[in-house]
Each structure stands twice: as structure tokens, then as C-alpha cells.
Structure 1
């Protein structure tokens, strides 16, 4: 097997600074990745450079990450947290882990923070906890938005009897598979077409210009993890003036995905930039912000909104493909972002509201809160609760890590659960098993003051990244 050929010139070209980190990186790669291809080695080094904080605990790559962080922080302005943070409201506290509460307590101590809230699906993340809502003054926190910028829910309703999902299961499953592509780094060989790719923002910044080609190839695709596309039965029990759908049961197409590599690169680039300007203590380091009166803050705001538009376009492409295959146009569409920042009025002042894994829930604003691959999702209408900064949960929320979930259940157990609930699963690893999530009914109970339920979505045919039915121990078709 050939030896890895990597030079200091390669690292400089990738953007590594002319400091001792180059020699450290070369030593690490030659020692631990000497039999890898140059392409794979550079992909690893680029990932560490883009977000060194993510690799500080990595057994091998921490040597490189620590050097990058130290060099960045040496140039940054030291910022202290306030001794007492601004007040924040917790919904469903009895079901929220201590780590998420701790992260929220850190976030509200930022000098720019003016308010916060924690949703009942909350769990620990990077920077803000997942399910954390933070209002700040004249600033934006890239890691307060998150890596998957504009991660989005989108639901199309079709005037089709859900019985057809059982009668013509093979047809619906085939079209769902044909219209989607899942997996980290996956791209289409032939790019789709959408007006978002002509957005002038792609030419406004060198970073966005460089990402344009990759974004086009990934247009209409979805990532890994908890991203999905699924058919299900939508139940509307009574007509709501805002949703404006007659009572009945319909076929629904529900998708969950974000801005793919475009959003990840934007998040990592501007998080690194924010950390280079402001050095926050300890665990708060990833909460570094960019002022909206700074050029870098304006750049991020432009890039973030482009990533949000791109995420919307990805859903549009999927829904358009499937509607064409069904020969029907949807008669209703409901959708919403999470992992985003908005300029909003709150308690009489203009603020930037970060919703990291939280759903906008302003007065009469529609949204979707999914459960799991076997549990119902909910079409909701916001109540505009100020204590929640007009927000709600974005799902059931994890109660265990991916690695723990994958080691806690078997494919046989998952298959039995799918069979019991009448669900066909394409893809979806054990890390996404329903057992890994909180009880969605409990989460909804914890936010009765935040949203009203106006419809339910019952999953029937689910497409995700991960293992195929053939790779699972029980090869029976599950429905």
C-alpha cells in the first residue's frame, strides 16, 4: 500500500496559517493516516481547519485542533460573560437534561443577550442547546444558528385517500426513492434546476462563489441523521381558519432537511471568524458573535439567508418531483425553518432571535413538529407566547446519543416496532430508532401554552439515510 504524500504547500493552499500547526498536522497525518489517499487526508484536514473546536476531544486530531484554536484565540478580543444572565423560561423542564440547561445558562450570560427560552424537546448541542431560543441585540451567533442552516420542515397535502398508501405501497415507495437522495456528501450526477441558483448572493462573496457548483449538484438532496422524506396520513378533525383545510384524511408528503454542504461551510467559516474576533471563556467559546454593524456580520447574514433560501429550494425540488409522479398538485403546503436567525420585535425592541432546533410560533403562524419514524407529527398554529419568544419545539428531541442508541437496540426490535405501527422503512439506522427520542405526546403536552394542534401526520412510508431493509436481520417487508 502506497504511503501518504502530503506537503506543507498542500496545507498552505488549503488555508492553514504559516505557523507550527503545519508541521504538527503533517506529523499527525503521516503517523495516523499514512495509508489513506491524499484526497481523504485533505478532506480531514479541511474539516479540522473549518471547525477546530469540534475536534478538541478527538483522540488523534486534537493536536491539530488545539494548535488552531490557540492561534485563533491569541488574536481575539477577550470577552467575559456576565455574572448573572438574563432571565429565560423553560418549558417541560422535568424532561430536559442538565447539560442542555447548563448550555442555556451560559448563553444568556453573553453581553449581547436580552432574552431566552428552552423548548421541551431540548438536549445538548454545540453552542446553543438544541431546542434553545436566544434573543440578542444587534448581533448574530453562527453556532447559535447551527451547522445545518435553514433546516426545514415541508408538508404537501394531496387529495388522495391514504388507503392508497397500502394498496399501492410499492408505487409510493418507488417514487419516494426515485425523487430523493440521502447521505452526507452525496450529490446528483445531473443537477436540478431552480431559480435559487441564480441568486446574486452566490457571486457576492468568494466563499459563496466557490460553493456554487457543489450546491447545485446537491440541490434537492437530503443529509444523513434525522433527515427524512415520508408519505403518511394527514388527519384534520375540524376546520381551522388559518390552516383552511376541510376535515378529512389526506395523503401527506413530509420532508425534513436543510442546506447541505452550503450551510455547513458557511457555519464553520463564520464561526471560525467570530472566534477570531471574540474569545469567550471555556464552554462558551462556540457562542462567539459577529456584530450586524460589522462587515463580517453583514456577510454572514447574507450567507445565512442564502442558505435558508437554498434549503427551501431543496424541498421544492423534492415535492415537485413527487407531485409530478403522482399526477396531482398539492392543494396545501405548510412549511417552516428551524436552525435560523430572524430579525423580530420582542418586548418592544428589535432583536435577533436564534432558534436552534426550535419552530417559529408567532400568533397564527403555522408549523410542523414531527415525532419519529413511527410516531405522529403535528401541524400546529402558534399562540405568540412572549415568554417563549414566539417559539415551540421542533420535534420529539433526542433522549440518548446516536452511539448509545445504536448499541441499545437491535434491528429485530426495530422491525417489530415498524410492523406494529404499519410503517415501511427505507434506510434509517438504529441511531434513529424511535426509542432514541422523547415521547412526542409528552413534548406536545409541555408546550400547550405555545401552540394549538390543527392536524396530525401519521407516518406510513419513510425514507432516510442508513441501512436498507436487505441489510437488516429481518428481511420481511414491513407495513
Structure 2
């Protein structure tokens, strides 16, 4: 389905091209604010899962010239997906799936949890140590934001986190079994994000009156902290990628005793959906921030998860330049976590996750499928951007 709405098409601000006809007023206002910034290149693209965020809109693709907006990247830097296909069929799974869920929960700390021993994760963290030490040396205030910083970031390697992060066992349209997970850069990425968002506000203190939203403060190339932020955000994105890789290994080892012998026959992708990187678009080298969006270059594979009771998709990009070669990162929320807890009950959660082995208590009520957009409608709105390769239905879901 082509672009549904264009904002600012005839005004002085850059256009906003929106790939859905269902968007809340808060998100529209945020997109209009971003479009006022002098650093935006060509236009802004809003994906079908677009909804209001903090400062910048979730589900937006923001190309900037010689500048980056730290709050657009956000605090869960490098948050994204990883999925692998196993060499077994759904018919080979055990009749009772609870032991599989419990095995995963024992192997992978969730929520604010971390591994108990530094040594257990030290090998995976070793290639990242030098870069973090240099970052702390240049920004000692960042170091103070973390309690026991070395132990924290090392122990959290290979952990899930909270909120909408998850680990799932799924089956596809051919009854092949997949493992899919969603996580980011954990506490260290959060600290880096919060620190540099505040630093951008301080650096722009004399210009804040010209910003439509103080959370849109940005670093320009040549400014005192631009290069430091680029180094820091790239470090956090790599930490998030390795975190998912480590977690996937833990999950596979945890479920192996409960399944027939299997191989990992295919890795779909290990992709970010909250990140920034340099790309070439519309004649310029720009910084593309995807805040709740994934890269969908021609023939590039990606992962678009639904909610914990619906479907997810492995997709292949079509390389649409108008979307800056991007697509949605998921279903997208239609209500806040607080509203979901008020509106739905535990019984609603049980009904909406029927057939899925998962927690069904009030602790995950804010992640109920009813709090999200219809994933099939989201997919229909972006058939110009991606094609579906596999449709996944979850059988086991571990929530953060």
C-alpha cells in the first residue's frame, strides 16, 4: 500500500510521509516538530506502527545532515531482533511446553536481573572493553551514573531486560521451529543514552528557544561532543548486537535437553530497530535514525514481531527510497502501559494468549495483545516496503 498521508507538503518545513491511515494526534504533532528542524534532509518517513514517543516519534525514520538527535535514537540504543530457524518440525516438540519456558527463564535473566558471575560473560565482553574504558575516561560523569559499572555491563551481557523485550519459540507456515528474541543494550545503553541526551541540551542551551521540543536537542558535526556521541552510540549498538547473540546461544543450550537433536539451519538476521548510521539518500551522505524501524534495503532480511498472542514476520526488503529503505519494527502500541493495565484484566490476558505457553499474570498485563495495533493491518500498509518470507506463530513466550 502506498503512502497514506503527507504532512507539510506545501509548507516551509520538510514533508512527513506516513505509511498508515491510523495515527494519533500526539504522534502527528511530534512529527511536525521534527520536520521544523533545519538539519532534516529531504523528508521524514513514518512507518505503519507509528505512535507517540518521548521527543521523537516511535516508528519514524529521520535523516539528518551533519547532525544527530540523541533522543531520537533513544535510551534503548541498538534495541532489535534476532531469529534462527532450527532443523526440527513442530511435530517433534514435546506435548508440554512449560519445561521449555522454565529452562529458558533459568538460563536468561529477565527484568532487572543479571548473571551472578562476571567471569561467565567476560569472554563476550572482552572485545568491547577498550572502547568503554576510553569512553569512561573522556566522560567520568557517565561512569558515576552506573553503580559498579564494570560488573553491571559485563553481568548484563546475555540478558533480556524488561518492558516489551521477549524470547519466543515459534513455528512457521512449513511447521519449522524458530527461536526469536528481542532485546537491546541494557543498563549501559540506557546510561549512555540519558547522559548524551542531557549533554545535547546543555550544548544547545543558548539555542533551546529555537527548538520546537527541548528533547530534540542535537549534536552538530564540529560541536564539542559530536564525535564522542558517535563513538558511544556505535559502542552501545555493538553491545546490543552481541547481547542478542549471546542470549541466543544461552537459549539454544537451555532447550537442547528438551528437544530432539537439532542444528541451527538458518539465521534470519540480527538487526537493530533503535539506532543511527550513515547512509546515502537523495544525493547526500546523511545520518539515518530509525526510532522503531528496521532497514529494508533490496533483498535484505528483517524481523517484524507482533504481540505476544499474534504473529510475527520474517520479511525481505524492497529497497523503497521514499521510506529510506525502511519498514516497521513491530505492531506498535495503541495505548500506554498504564491504560492497558486499567482497561484489561488477567482473564483478558488469558484469552488473548490462548495456546501460548507464557506468563499470564498482572506483571505482563501491559503487554497484552489488545494494547497493540493489528499486526496484519500494519503489514498490509507496508507491502510496498517489504515482502513476507515467513509467518511465525509463537508457542512459547518469555517476557521481560
TM-score, length-normalised on structure 1? Answer: 0.74
Pick from 358, 362, 366: which aligns with 1:425?
358
Map residues 40-439 of structure 1 onto 2, 5 A cutoff: 84-92=12-20, 94-114=21-41, 115-183=43-111, 185-191=112-118, 192-199=121-128, 200-206=130-136, 207=139, 211-235=149-173, 248-278=174-204, 279-281=207-209, 284-325=213-254, 326=256, 328-333=262-267, 334-419=269-354, 422-426=355-359, 429-439=364-374
Number of residue pairs matched by the alignment: 367
Q: How far is the alpha carbon of 1:217 from its aligned partner? A: 1.2
1:418 positional shift: 2.1
Pairwise CA distance, 1:167: 2.0
**Structure 2: distance between partners of 1:209 and 1:413:** 43
- Runs (4 or more) in structure 1 with deviation over 4 Å come to 207-210
Q: Which fold has the larger relative contact order, with Cα–Cα distance below 8 Å and residues 6 or more apart in sequence?
A: 2
Q: Which runs of 5+ in 2 are unaligned?
A: 1-10
RMSD (Å), alpha carbons: 1.7
Verify the 8 A CA contact 1:357 1:394 in the aligned structure 2: yes
Structure 1: any 5+ residue segments left out of the alignment?
1-82, 236-247, 466-479
Residue 308 of structure 2 aligns to a residue whose secondary structure is coil
Q: What is the SS of the residue equivalent to 2:366?
A: helix
Contact kept in structure 2, 1:323 and 1:329, CA below 8 Å: no
Question: What TM-score, normalized by structure 2, do the two folds share?
Answer: 0.88
Question: Highest Rg: 1 or 2?
Answer: 1
Of 208-217 and 445-454, the range deviating more from structure 2: 208-217
Q: Secondary structure at the match of 1:226?
A: coil
> Which moved further from structure 2: 317-326 or 341-350?
317-326
CA distance in 2, matches of 1:439, 1:126: 23
2:3 equivalent in structure 1: none
